[in-house]
A and B are shown apart, each in its own frame.
Chain A
Amino acid sequence: MRKLHKSLQAGVLFAAGALGLTQGAAKADEIVIGASLPLSGPLAGFGSFQQWGYKHAVDEVNKAGGIAIGGKKEMVKLIIRDDQTNPNLTASNTQTLLSRDHVVAMLGSCTPALVNAGALVAERAKKPIVTGCDPLQVFTSVRKWKYAWDIFFSVPDLTVAPFKMLAAAGVTTNKKLAIWHDNGPDGQANGKKLWPAFAKKFGYTVVQNAEFPINNAQFTSIISEAKAKGADVVLVDAVTPPAVAIRKQMASEGYKPKVLDIEKGAEPVQFAQALGKLADGVLVGGYWDPTFPYPGAAKLAKDFEAETKLTSSQHIADSYAAAQILLDAIAAAGSTDADKINAAIAKTNKTYVVGPIKFAADHTATLPIVSEQWQGGKTVIVWPKKAATGKLLFPMP
């Protein structure tokens, strides 16, 4: 009995001590912002790009002397926690950053599940959060936001892009369309609703609509069915690992449609690195490229490549821009008061590295979509014409 009592006491003391240790002692003259990112787990790839984008924006501001709060320049401190690609952890990380580190605002995680989990916590705590990496329609479907802001592409823009691109290029196909999509949130939205609707509008016949688990590796039956049905155009929504498997197995099944568009999965450079020549001709929608005519676009990619010795990705741009928007808003507010910052974010009207940003009433800012195509290990913008950096390779080799 006494032992039990002692142990309980010891436990409470231990807990109290540990809590004391972990209380982050924020310096008085610092502006603390926080982010929870997937630095491990399946989305670790995205997380590392975002981490660089966030840090880069903060570093630049600090190099320039910080932000003036009430007339006094203060440095910005960015605290990043790993959520291991687990929404439960994104939520608890955000809670901790708000309550322990007293961050004045948050930057978002990546993909709807993680972003929404963090945003809901921030919203309840009435602290602003600026994020990318969450398709706008998914973001707005959660609730009417007061403190969360999203800069990303609009889902219909992305899904319609292949159709518009094909129409603009004036190429002929048999108008038979195969749709393959994973059963994740965007896969289901694109594959089940949006693509079939646009196909009808643009005069395509959907000859196959196949759904597969997010991390599927085996696509031979899907592929051979599309092949048997003679689809010239294949639209795919999948993350990178299955995207690589799909492209490989299409080749090994001897299936060569004229057009292959793989959303999400074909976007990172690892897709092309994993596939080599097979990547050539694969189309993917994008929302940013270093060639975009926006201030700092080319430099951002150059800085990333110089610093990390890795190939850049569009994910450095929306994260960098999201952080800049937040930092600009803090500067504009001249205060660390959440509501003042939030009001300043709402007033954002400036051209960032991703293009002109002005938030709509539903707290979203839309990034324009381009169609890109892998050609010789690099992406070339093939649509729309005003952004194009190369010619469409048709049919796919």
Chain B
Amino acid sequence: MRLHRLSGDMGILAGAFVLLWFAPSFASDYALQISFRVMIYLTLAESWNLLTGSVGLVSLGTASFVGLGSYVAFGLANHFGAPIPVILVVCALAGAVLAALVSPALFRLRGVYFTVGTLALAALLQLLMVNLPTFGGASGIFLKHDPPPLASLYHDALSVALVASLAMAICARTRISVIIRAVRDDEDAAAQMGVRPYRVKLAAFALASALIAMAGAVQAINLGAIEPYGAFGLQWTIDALSMVIIGGIGWRLGPLAGVLFVVMLGEMLANYPEAHIAITGVILIVLIRFAPGGIVGMFARLFTRSTRLSSP
């Protein structure tokens, strides 16, 4: 039954992927730009939803891995002339390795302490990059060669987002989901049943970090220039988190809904630059207050059957 649902998800994802893959041939440049942004944010949001919505690790460390991916990608491109697929694979590995390196420390922390620990990690990495001249210091690094054209970058972002969505589908639709939810609900009780909570959390953390690092790499190549304040900026963390909360935390479709909403809202409000942020804040407050399960939660109440991954 569960596998049946998984194959359904796979089908939809494959269909969407094929459809979107050919978007550059009929969509406008603007639509492509927006889609690129959606794919990057979707990857971040899916990863954050896996960590927080499913495993229960409230992370404020998204920026650490975006920055890591950016710097690793530039190192590979500038020093070795690596092609993008290679860059993505290495960045994913780097993200997973960093996650594995810091997890012995971070996983000792529970609840709000884990959260501030991840926040401190991002701040620490940013400060280190600013001060270490090896990595360009505060001036950052420029890509030596021109980045590939938008259509090609779009395909990279789309592929990363597909990998992220596939991974989340597997986490949500297979027996893995039972284990993940057990760890989130009651770590001790799960351990008493033979689940190794540390490994489960580490696997989720490494997976999310690998995905985020890949998104960071694509975004950095798109920019052509990186420096610590932008690459390790808190804004990445806040974006991922607010998109998932707006979309509906813990819901399978929450990240997608949140990303679409926030990106569209940003575009619509961009013509009022002075008030843009304040209006976003007001909308955020109203949504949190009156749509507790986010956009998806709101819609789900209208349907009887729900596609809920798990309750928050």
Contacts and interface: CB of A to CB of B under 8 A. Distances in A.
A78 B257 CA distance: 32
A20 B128 CA distance: 43
Given A4-B8, A81-B273, A93-B270, A117 B223 contact: yes
Contacts of A37: 273
Contacts of A336: none
Given A15-B264, A183-B137, A213-B127, A96 B33 contact: yes
Interface in A1-56: 1, 3-5, 7-8, 10-11, 14-15, 18-19, 21-24, 37, 39-40
A14 B260 contact: yes
A3 B306 contact: yes
Interface in B159-198: none
Nearest to A116: B225
B299 interface: yes
A19 B261 CA distance: 11
A185 interface: yes
Contacts of B29: 98-99
Nearest to B304: A3
B139 A112 contact: yes
A185 B138 contact: yes
A95 B149 CA distance: 13
Specify the main secondary structure of chain B where it touches its partner.
Answer: helix
Contacts of B253: 4, 7-8, 11
A91 B260 CA distance: 19
B276 A15 contact: no
Contact of B225 (A8, A24, A87): A87
Contacts of B142: 116, 141-143
A3 B303 contact: yes
B225 A142 contact: yes
Interface in A264-292: none
Nearest to B264: A18
A124 B264 CA distance: 25
Interface in B116-153: 127, 130-131, 133, 137-140, 142, 146-147
A224 interface: no
Interface stretch (B49-57, B75-83, B204-212, B228-236): B228-236
Given A4-B12, A138-B139, A88 B273 contact: no
Interface string B210-246: 0000000001001111010110010100000000000
Nearest to A88: B230
A113 B223 CA distance: 11
A124 B12 contact: no
Interface residues of A, number: 55
A183 B130 contact: yes
Nearest to A100: B30
A22 B30 CA distance: 10
B138 A87 contact: no
A15 to B, nearest CB: 5
A8 B32 CA distance: 19
Interface in B240-271: 252-253, 256-257, 260, 264, 267-268, 270-271
Nearest to A188: B137
A80 interface: yes
Nearest to A24: B271
B277 interface: yes
A128 interface: no
Given A40-B277, A82-B274, A213 B33 contact: no
Contacts of B299: 7, 10
B273 A80 contact: yes
B37 interface: yes
A148 to B, nearest CB: 12
A319 to B, nearest CB: 15
Contacts of A1: 5, 8
Contacts of A96: 30, 33-34, 267, 270
Contacts of B45: none
Interface in A154-168: none
A119 to B, nearest CB: 9
Contacts of A112: 139
Contacts of A3: 303, 305-307
Contact of B264 (A4, A7, A19, A214): A19
B33 A99 contact: yes
A185 B129 CA distance: 12
B230 A22 contact: no
A88 B296 CA distance: 28
Given A5-B12, A96-B30, A99-B32, A86 B235 contact: yes
11 contacts: A7-B296, A21-B268, A24-B271, A39-B274, A88-B235, A92-B37, A96-B34, A113-B140, A120-B225, A183-B130, A185-B139
Interface of A: 1, 3-5, 7-8, 10-11, 14-15, 18-19, 21-24, 37, 39-40, 79-82, 84, 86-89, 91-93, 95-96, 98-100, 112-113, 116-117, 120-121, 124, 138, 141-143, 183-185, 187-189, 213-214
Given A3-B306, A15-B260, 12 more contacts: A3-B303, A4-B253, A4-B307, A8-B16, A23-B30, A39-B273, A82-B270, A88-B230, A113-B230, A121-B224, A185-B139, A214-B138
